[in-house]
Each structure stands twice: as C-alpha cells, then as structure tokens.
Chains A and B, each alone.
Chain A
Amino acid sequence: MSSTPYRLPLALPGLRRADGDGAIAGVCAGIARSLRVDATLVRLTFALLAFAGGAGVAAYAGAWLALATESGPRPSPRRRLLGYAALAVAGAIALRGFGFSDSLIWPATLCGAGILLARGRSGIPVVVGLSLVVLGVIVFVDQNASSNGRDAAFESSAVAIALLLVLGPWAWRLAAERDAERTARIRSQERAEMAARVHDSVLQTLALVQREAGDSRRVASLARRQERELRSWLYPDPRADGAGLASAMDAAAAEVEELHGVPVELVRTGDVPVDDRVDALVLAAREAMANAAQHSGADEISTFVDVGDDAIAVYVRDRGTGFDPESLPSGAHGIAESIRGRMERAGGTASISSSPEGTEVELRIRRAP
C-alpha cells in the first residue's frame, strides 16, 4: 500500500491555473495537467456544462476565483470563498439542469463542501470533509427513499456514482504508484543481478590476478577471459547465441585462448546455420588455431570468418616462426588429419602457406546448396 497520507482523490493534486498555455484563464489547462489528461477533454466538459443552464460558466468563474496560478500567490481568502460559492452554484445549476430536485442538491452541496474542505490536506480536515461527503450521500439516499418518487435502482446507482467519484481517482493514483514501485523493484533487481555478476566473475578474476601477479601469461589469459565474458554480457551479439557458425567460432576461439593462453583476434562477417559440413569447418579451424597457439610462438592469432555468397572461408593467421608444410614429422597428425583430411571429407579445401614471417591456414567450403 501507499505510504503517503490519505488525500481525497478529487483534491486534484497540485491543481493550479496554467500560466501560459490556457485559452482563457488557464483553468482547463491546469485541471488537465493535474489529471494528466488532454486539455481539450476538460475544455469540452466545461463547454458541455455551459449548456446545462450555464453551470459550466459558473464553474469556470468559481475555479478562476479560487485557484492560484502556477507562479502567483494564493488568492485572498475572500476571493477563494467567493470562488467556492460560485462552484457550489455551478453544481446546483448542473444538477437542476439534469432535472434533479432540491433533495439531490442539498446532499450534493454537502459532498462538495466536504471535498473542498479536504482538498490537498491530511488529518482532521480530511476526516471532517469525508464525514460531510458521507453525510451528503446518506441524506440523499434517505430523502429519496422517503419521497418514494424514484425507484431503488436510481438510489443505489447514485450512491455507486458518488463512491466512484470519490474512490475512483484515488484507486487510479494508487495503481500509478504501484506501477512506480514495480519499476523501482525491477531496477533494484537489475542492480542485484549486476552486483552478483560482478562478484562472481570480475571480483574473482581480480583476486586471481593479484595472487598470480608474477605469471604474466596467466594474468593476461585471465584478463582476456574476463573481458570476453563481460563483453558478451554487456553487448550481446545477436549472432552469437544461436546455433550458427558465428557463435561456434566464438566458442572455438575462446577454448583455444583458454587452453593455450594466446589471444585470438576473431573477426567475422555474416553467419550460416551449422550443419555437418560447417561443423567440420569449425573443428578444422579450431585445430589450426590450436596449432598456431602451441607451435608458432606468436603472441596473437588473427582469425577471419568470411561468409560469402557462394563460399565460406576461414583464415587463421599467426606471425610466428613458420614451418615447412612439406617436411612435417610423421607424428604431426594435426595438420594431415584434423585439418586437411577433415576439410576434404566435407567437400572443402585447406591450404597452408608458411614462411619465417608466419603462417596462414585458409579453409574453404562451398555454401550448402
């Protein structure tokens, strides 16, 4: 429940005459602003009421007298009293205009007085004002019940309308406050999640970094892993969470980095869904990255995944020592089987160029027809 003191809802919170943007004296614009509705709606209501024996005109005059402007001082008590009187007259005229008898107008006046008394206040005036409202409703029901001129349905609907008038806006405000509370709660949940995330990952990593400060390679790989984790959380890549080539390559690069402690600079364009052939491509690329990390001595590996219109190409490049692809020891199972053999079985190609300036493995398959 709301923690603000109970205020009579018809009090129209912060009601003032609008300074600048009013059509006549800013009454309608002010009411509209307080209710957070369109001013035209309020103006239309007043205009309609003006046809009810001039009630709208009287009400407008009353409001003009009683209300302060946004920047101006509160009107003098006498002027306000005059305004309230005009409002009461307006109410009476309106009710007469609707064909209601005096038996309705008196209770209405009581209700009106109660509302005006309680307006924007809390404590005793509210109690008194509410009492007046309730009294007005009781008198109304009582008089009409005894007069017997109208049926019971009308009476009960009159009470319902009165209650709706009093409680409706209040309930509306309450709902609005509930919404605000919900927003605040969601925000605090988000903050809690953020704190948990920072604690679980960032703080743990920082602790590890401090403990292993002597091992620069280990520190770099810790930092790198943390960076990747935070990055994927902060800037989720739409392509990285499906079962596509892009996310598979992300995972493969991350594995190599973690296993061998060498950063992989992964650049990719486009994406395709993973099928058996694409899977073979990813595995071959992973092997190429792992080889570069293990054997080249380079401190970084560049990988570029290019999904073209007809073919998919993956380039794995390092600036390491290089080797002679023709004179590999027989135990070098990796290149022959895991890269070349795998690509050929998938209907693709693998070509390797190496020099003392580094090595590049180019893997290529046609896109699925």
Chain B
Amino acid sequence: MKPRVVLVDDHDLFRAGVRSELGSGIDIVGEAGSIAEAVPLIRELDPDVVLLDVHLPDGGGHAVIAQVAPERPGVRFLALSVSDAAEDVIDVIRAGARGYVTKTISGAELVDAIKRTAEGDAVFSPRLAGFVLDAFRSVAPPVDPELDVLTTREREVLQLIARGYRYKEIAARLHLSVKTVESHVSAVLRKLQLSNRHELTRWAAERRLI
C-alpha cells in the first residue's frame, strides 16, 4: 500500500525536488506552502503522512499539528528541517510529530522514513537522538520516573541511532527484534512528548541563551 502524503514546505524548488526523489513508491496527494493552506488541505485529503517543514512563512510547523491533530488523529506528521536548532525540533516533536529528519536526507532514506511514519513508528535521525540524549541527561531528580528517565535499553538504542545505525542493525547488535527496537524508540518519543520535567525546557533555553 502506497502511503498518501501531503507535502508542506514553502520552497517550490524543494517540493519539486522531493517529489522527483520520492518517485513512485509514495503517493503525493497534495502540497501546501503555508499553515493557512496546509490546515484545510490536510482536513480535506486526510492523508497517511504529512511531511512538514519546521519553519513556515506564517509560523512554526507545530501550529499545523496543533490545528489538525485533534480532529484527524489518523494523520501522522514527519518533521523536515534545515535548521537543526534543537528547540525548534523539540517543539515540533512535542506538538506530536512522529519523527524528524534533515533536508539533506537521501531520497531512499526519506521514502523509508515516510513508510515507517505511516506504519506508526517513530523516526529518529542521528541528530534528534543526540538532542534527546542531551535533554534527558539527568542532573535533578526526576519528577515522574515513568516519563522523566530513559531506561538503559532506550539509552543504548538512542546512542546507536546517534552513531548512524539503522533499526535493523541496532536489532542485530543488541540481539533484539526490529519490532522491539521500534517500540523502544516509540517509548522515547512518548516520553519526549509527555514529560513535563523542567529540565527539558531549561535545556532548550540554555541552548538558545548562553
């Protein structure tokens, strides 16, 4: 089954590039260049995956998720960015995106990331894994141990992602099934979205301010 994808990015050139790179494995059903265009389009088309630029002319990509997600819970968002500014990425993940990839990603890897997003998996780029490891680096005691601390396994998985390993390779290395690796990553994503530990925000603030 080909995932139906809406592409939200304000650069025509980039959209054209993505369309030609994705080729036939992905069905691009719509494109938008702003939050105002994207929200009604996604409501109308109800796609499997929205490929979402973190920066749009009328605001951050997280605004699209905030407006669409409550009434279209089946739509999954994959954030796409050139910025790498940690707080932008964390923002869009916390808004509900299932993953984050940089715009320099190759066509084949992007197809793979979209398919995994469509199946409900979390997609972590090495850089996002680095951000998350940083964010959960614990100094203060956790408020809610369920959400505020990564398990040893989750930390191992994230470290391997940061080292450039793919899920299959991680599974082989840790003697786990790919499904188990995926569920660890999803658990990390959930913690990232739900944890209210002020460490997360403080960390983001430090990155911006100091």
Interface residues in chain A, defined as those with a beta carbon under 8 Å from any beta carbon in chain B: 231, 235, 237-238, 263, 265, 267-270, 302, 304, 306, 315, 317, 319, 360
In the bound assembly, the distance between CA atoms of A302 and B165 in angstroms comes to 9
B165 contacts across to A, CB distance below 8 A: 317
Pick from A235, A267, A319, A360: contact of B162, CB under 8 Å: A267
- Interface: B30 (CB within 8 A): no
* Closest-CB distance, B107 to chain A (whole angstroms): 13
By DSSP majority rule, is chain A's interface helix, strand, loop, or mixed?
strand
| Residue in contact with A315 in the complex, picked from B83, B84, B133, B163, CB distance below 8 Å | B163
Query: A167 → chain B, closest Cβ, in Å?
Result: 42
Q: Which of B42-50, B113-121, B123-131, B179-187 contacts A (4 or more CB under 8 A)?
A: B123-131
Q: Is B202 an interface residue (CB 8 A)?
A: no
Contacts A238-B207, A304-B162 given; indicate if A269 touches B133 (C-beta within 8 A): yes
Complex Cα spacing A207 to B146, Å: 54
The A/B interface has a contact count, at CB < 8 Å, of: 45
Enumerate chain B residues within 8 angstroms of A306, measured Cβ to Cβ: 133, 159, 162
Q: Is the Cβ of B163 less than 8 Å from the Cβ of A304? A: yes
B126 touches A302 (CB 8 A): yes
Contacts of A237 in B (CB 8 A): 207
- Assembly CA distance A306 to B83 (angstroms): 22
- DSSP majority for the B interface? helix
Inter-subunit contact A270/B137 (CB<8 Å): yes
Q: Is the CB of B83 within 8 A of A360?
A: no
Task: Choose from A235, A267, A270, A360 the contact partner of B126 (Cβ within 8 Å).
Answer: A267
With a CB–CB cut-off of 8 A, which chain A residues contact B210?
Answer: 238
Please tell me if the beta carbons of B163 and A360 are within 8 angstroms of each other in the complex: yes
10 A-B pairs with least C-beta separation = A302-B164, A267-B130, A304-B162, A304-B163, A315-B163, A238-B210, A269-B134, A317-B164, A267-B162, A269-B133
A25 to B179, CA, bound (A): 73
- Cβ A304 vs Cβ B126 within 8 A: yes
**B85 located at the interface, meaning its Cβ lies under 8 Å from any Cβ of chain A in the complex:** yes
Interface size on B, residues (CB 8 A): 20
Q: Which residue of B lies closest to A223 (CB)?
A: B104
Q: How far is the CB of A50 from chain B (nearest CB, A)?
A: 50
CA distance A5 to B2 in the complex (A): 70
The smallest beta-carbon distance between A78 and chain B, in angstroms, is 53
Let me know if A304 and B130 touch, CB within 8 A: yes
* B206 part of interface (Cβ distance < 8 Å): yes
Beyond contacts A267-B129, A306-B133: 4 other A-B pairs, Cβ-Cβ < 8 A, are A238-B206, A263-B104, A270-B134, A360-B163
CB distance from B182 to the nearest CB of A (A): 20
Q: Which residue of chain B lies nearest to A313 when distances are taken between CB atoms in the complex?
A: B159
How far is the CB of B208 from the nearest CB of chain A, in Å? Answer: 8
User: Complex: how many Å from CA A306 to CA B163?
Assistant: 10
Q: Are A231 and B129 in contact (CB under 8 A)?
A: no
Taking the closest CB of chain B, its distance from the CB of A299, in whole angstroms, is 9
Provide the bound-state CA to CA distance between A70 and B130, in Å. 57
**Residues of chain B in range 116-159 having any CB-CB distance to chain A below 8 Å:** 126-127, 129-130, 133-134, 137, 159
Closest B residue, CB atoms, query A299? B106
User: Is A235 a contact of B85 with CB atoms below 8 Å?
Assistant: yes
- What are 28 A-B interface contacts by the 8 Å CB criterion? A231-B84, A235-B83, A237-B207, A238-B206, A238-B207, A238-B209, A238-B210, A263-B104, A265-B164, A267-B129, A267-B130, A268-B130, A269-B130, A269-B162, A270-B134, A270-B137, A302-B164, A304-B126, A304-B159, A304-B162, A306-B133, A306-B159, A306-B162, A315-B163, A317-B163, A317-B164, A317-B165, A319-B164
